[in-house]
Structure 1
Amino acid sequence: MSVEVDGFNASALFKELSEGLADKDAAAKAIKGVNAVIVITLKNKEGKEASWLLDLKKEGTLKAVEGPPPKGDVQLLLKDADFVKLANGKANGQKLFMNGKLKVKGNMMKATAIESVFKQLDPRPKL
């Protein structure tokens, strides 16, 4: 199944992240840094929910999941638009959390490691 889900702006970011994880060295580094299975559940403008499973424990893979979100070490729940800002470095995870825009279920320490993974796997040129 593709990582892209219709109606979600985050799909393009998940595609980039997935392509970044295709690099075995980058995936190994991400697994070493996070060592967790992360479930990201987003809600879009239409109120539709979708979840992605980011395995940074064994496989270094990312996939969209159908139906209810699976169990992971940590689950992030936020709006599609807020996730896009977070992944692009335009929003701070802690601020989103403090403002109630980001909900975290599970291991909070693993959740904080995710931002570094996005920076590490970002294929866009650094300015």
Structure 2
Amino acid sequence: MSDVEVDGFNASPLFKELVTALQDDGVRQKAIKGVKAVLVLTLKNKEGKEQSWILDFKNDGSIKKVDSIPKSDVQLILKDADFVKLANGKANGQKLFMNGKLKVKGNMMKATALESVFKSVGGRPSAKL
């Protein structure tokens, strides 16, 4: 199991895929240029367990799971299942936000930049934030 995977979270393979894609220097540089922010994703799975990941697209283009919420430009809080739908292009971030299923703390514009990262992971429909 990689350092971004967490048992019981359907988002784990997506984070692992993103980490693999970010090994490519071109993809990583594009993500950093496109987002220019440190994002924290806090997901809650169906068992009610919470897990956070820090996506550093300001400095080094890395993703790590974290136990406590670090300082970031923006934090996105949503259910694991909703994040998976969002990342796969099957859910709309604005609708999730309007329906109270997506909470954003911090810079809302930085949250929308995350869409470009999912696009650059190739082969996936884009996540609309």
Shared topology, TM-score over 0.5?
Answer: yes
2:22 aligned partner: 21
SS of the residue aligned with 1:30? helix
The SS at the match of 2:115 is helix
Where do 1:1-127 residues align within 5 Å? 2-66=3-67, 68-122=68-122, 124=123
Gapped runs of 5+ residues in structure 1?
none
Structure 2 Cα separation of the partners of residues 32 and 116 of structure 1: 10
TM-score (norm 2): 0.92
Runs of 4+ residues deviating >4 angstroms: none
Q: CA deviation at 1:71?
A: 1.5
Identity of paired residues, percent? Answer: 72
Deviations 1:64-88 (A, max 9, x none): 112x221210000000000000000
Q: 1:107 to 1:2 in 2, by over 3 A?
A: same
Q: CA deviation at 1:44?
A: 0.2
Distance, in Å, in 2 between the alignment partners of 1:69 and 1:79 is: 17
Deviation at 1:125, TM superposition (A): 6.9
C-alpha root-mean-square deviation of aligned residues, in Å? 1.3
TM-score, normalised on structure 1? 0.93
The unaligned stretches of length 5 or more in structure 2 are none
Q: Is the 8 A contact 2:51 2:66 kept in 1?
A: yes
Amino acid at match of 2:83: F
Please report how far the alpha carbon of residue 115 of structure 1 lies from its aligned counterpart in structure 2 after TM superposition: 1.4
